[in-house]
Amino acid sequence: MEMTAAMEGAAAGGSWAAGFSLSAVASLLFFFSMLQEHIPFQLQDCLAAMAARLHALLSPYVTVTIDDHASDSFSRSEAFLAVEAYLSASPCAARARRLRADIAEGADRMALAVDDHEEVADDFRGATMWWRKSKAIPRANVISWAPRQDERRSYHLTFHRRHRALVEADYFPHVLAEGRAVTIRNRQRRLFTNNPGADWSGYDDARVWSHVKLEHPSTFATLAMDPVRKQEIIDDLDMFRDGKDYYASVGKAWKRGYLLFRPPGTGKSTMIAAMANFLDYDVYDLELTAVESNTELRRLFIETTGKSIIVIEDIDCSIDLTGKRKKKKKDKKKKKKMMPPSDDDDEEKKVTLSGLLNFIDGLWSACGGERIIIFTTNHKEKLDPALIRRGRMDMHIEMSYCCFESFKVLAKNYLGVEQHEMFGEIRQLLEEADMSPADVAENLMPRSKTKDVDACLERLVKALHEAKETKAAGGNDDDDESSSSSDDSDSSSDSEEQDKLAVVTKLDFSLAQPNYII
């Protein structure tokens, strides 16, 4: 009985003590809230600063704050985004009790982030790092014209001061690198196209590029090409992607150029999509006819990001890049007398060969890094040698007609077969006829849900026989050689001198062709 009474008395005393402590805390909070209403904001800031200095003297820990917005910018802080991405993929996020799910701009999947006022611990080389996310709400008497600035979020990193050198030298670079890698893995790859210069405004946030989601399914596994040449391209792309330190050591900008040439339907656009999927890069499809000047071309390049492929398709058809140089001063003076001044002004505003060369290999091309520039053309001989020399178009890739190895890739993709009794005949016909991979794929395409392999292969054999007969009859003669010289000639009255200039220009092309074709 005495023990029971003692326990009841202790329980009563404990409950009384707990009630007293709660009431004391509530009274203290009420006292501080009343005190804040009568203390000026300046004095509150002064007291907070004094308390922080006192805490710094007594505590052995250091705290680093990373705000979500820079003080002089409306955009999100790159450091804040990197920390958020790092913590979302770090094992320490699994120990968090409150998380927030969201799809970031440009992301392709939902990501988890540490919620407000949540704290997690990260272990790095034996040192413990505490991350805490806070949210600051402005005072009620402050008017904000920008709603996105109403709430400010920050990450606070706390660590022992003996680990300060480790944090500055190793931990921060580790967080930044891992955060960027996570952002790249989660991002949505995009296909960009340039907007006309007339649509640009004078503001800094004017969009010179528009984009859609890049969803092209082409890969090197499905690309119809000779396996040896395909592997050479893959190895070259691997070398470029991992070659940041190498490019810096040799003093070159981290970029690489590829020229894809040969007739239509040989897979040039498909090759570009396979490169983008292999490297996980964005694609910028540059339409030169919409660019009015070299200045606009430079602005477009500056607005591109790293880990991207800049493509100019059919460059020989975009602008006049057939090897013309500046004309003689005499001819220029004569034309100035005959043409209005406005025509000269319009000509000066167009993109020139010099501007395009600076775009590829000039000083501005070194702004940023990890970019690939690709030109495609059906007529390589029409391009100026300076445009496709080494250092600008580093690798020339000939997209040839369909060979037997390419056919086997297409047969496996479209029909799911790797061997067939008709393969021998098809191999012989492919050696005797010229047919693009696109035409071969169209003949292999099933016409019904039930794949009739024999019917598809017979249709291809018939098309190959027709292509063979056409080739034997001389139906593939290319008359572009005779017209290219006329493109290089001028329309002035002195025709004999212009014809001589065209012949010299054509001879210059034949002597300057590089010998590094794949």
Domain boundary among 454, 471, 488: 471
Instruction: Give the mean pLDDT of 55-59.
Output: 68
Residue 406: Cβ-neighbour burial (10 angstroms; 0-12, 13-18, 19+): buried
Q: Are residues 231 and 363 in the same domain?
A: yes
Q: Residues near 118 by Cβ (< 8 Å), separated by ≥ 6?
A: 96, 97, 98, 99, 132, 133
Confidence grade of residue 427 (pLDDT, cut at 50, 70, 90):
very high
Is residue 456 assigned to a domain?
yes
Task: State which of 105-114, 132-141, 465-474 shows the largest mean pLDDT.
Answer: 465-474
Q: Are residues 199 and 181 in the same domain?
A: no
Confidence grade of residue 435 (pLDDT, cut at 50, 70, 90):
very high
Q: Are residues 130 and 198 in the same domain?
A: no
Is residue 4 assigned to a domain?
no
Confidence grade of residue 150 (pLDDT, cut at 50, 70, 90):
low
Give me the residue label for tokens 């991002």.
Answer: 187
Lowest mean pLDDT among 184-198, 422-436, 437-451: 184-198
Give dist(CA 253, CA 394) in Å, integer. 13
Domain boundary among 358, 378, 398: 398
Confidence grade of residue 491 (pLDDT, cut at 50, 70, 90):
very low
Q: Are residues 278 and 354 in the same domain?
A: yes
CB atoms within 10 A of CB 483: 10
Is residue 99 predicted with pLDDT exceeding 80?
no
Is residue 422 assigned to a domain?
yes
Whether the full predicted model's pTM is greater than 0.75, yes or no, is: no
* Residue 317 belongs to domain with CATH number: 3.40.50.300
Q: Are residues 284 and 317 in the same domain?
A: yes
Q: Are residues 197 and 235 in the same domain?
A: yes
Quick one: pLDDT at residue 56?
64
Q: Are residues 178 and 205 in the same domain?
A: no
Quick one: pLDDT at residue 353?
85
Q: Residues near 214 by Cβ (< 8 Å), separated by ≥ 6?
A: 189, 190, 191, 276, 282, 283
Is residue 21 assigned to a domain?
no
Is residue 14 assigned to a domain?
no
Instruction: Give the mean pLDDT of 263-281.
Output: 92
Is residue 425 predicted with pLDDT exceeding 80?
yes
Q: Are residues 161 and 239 in the same domain?
A: no
Taking all residues of the chain, what is their mean pLDDT, rounded to a whole number? 77
* Closest C-alpha among 428, 500, 485 to residue 460: 428
pLDDT in tens, 351-363: 888 888 888 887 8
| Count of structural domains within the chain | 3
Q: Are residues 222 and 315 in the same domain?
A: yes
Across the strands, what pairs with 194? 209
Q: Which residue has the higher pLDDT, 329 or 171?
A: 171
Give dist(CA 480, CA 471) in Å, integer. 17
Q: Are residues 362 and 444 in the same domain?
A: no
Q: Residues near 362 by Cβ (< 8 Å), separated by ≥ 6?
A: none
Quick one: pLDDT at residue 485?
40
Is residue 344 assigned to a domain?
no
CB atoms within 10 A of CB 517: 12
Q: Are residues 369 and 453 in the same domain?
A: no
Confidence grade of residue 237 (pLDDT, cut at 50, 70, 90):
very high
Distance of CA 331 to the CA centre of its chain: 45
Q: Print the domain residue range for 128.
A: 37-138+149-186
Q: Are residues 42 and 100 in the same domain?
A: yes
Quick one: pLDDT at residue 134?
87
